[in-house]
Amino acid sequence: MEAQTTLIQIDARETQVCNRALGGAGMLRLPIGSARPGARSFRNQIPTPLELEEAINGVEDAVMPLARTLPRGSVLVTCDGLARELAALLRLPAPGDAELTLQDVEHVFSQLAAVAQGRPLASSGLPADPAFAGYLVILREFMHHLGFERVTVLREDA
């Protein structure tokens, strides 16, 4: 039996999740996005520790209800540009689809947390982009709380 696919698309203001287990049209819109991952937007290029914590809490609140609905063993897929940027940051091969593990995402999130705590941004290699930080928080929490060990990042022309 082939595993179901869960598609995640994280836009600036909302996150769309598609899986036939969601019923109806098989799509759910979550009120979190890269520009506003929690109750409010990040105010700085790199979020403060408090902003990160608030964003994590907001994302957890939005995604946890899906834990009862999405089937375990589903394959997570995205075609988001910021996911391709994340793959490039991790130096994953550009041609074809890339696969990010939860460990990869956690590694980059740890770098973001260190920068939020005062580590120089230039030493991290992270982009000075609040949307990238918001995207990373959402993807990390989604994968972590819903049991996804990897996400396939489809190439741009897919």
How far are the Cα atoms of 29, 87, 131 from residue 139, in angstroms, in the given order? 15, 13, 12
**Maximum CA extent, the chain:** 48
Choose among 75, 64, 62, 77: nearest CA to 32.
62
- pLDDT 10s digits, 18-65: 998 887 778 999 999 999 998 778 887 889 999 999 999 999 999 999
Choose among 24, 59, 53: nearest CA to 38.
59
For residue 99, report the phi and psi dihedrals to the nearest 5 degrees.
-125, 120
Measured CA to CA, the distance from residue 77 to residue 70 in angstroms comes to: 14
- pLDDT 10s digits, 122-150: 888 899 899 999 999 999 999 999 999 99
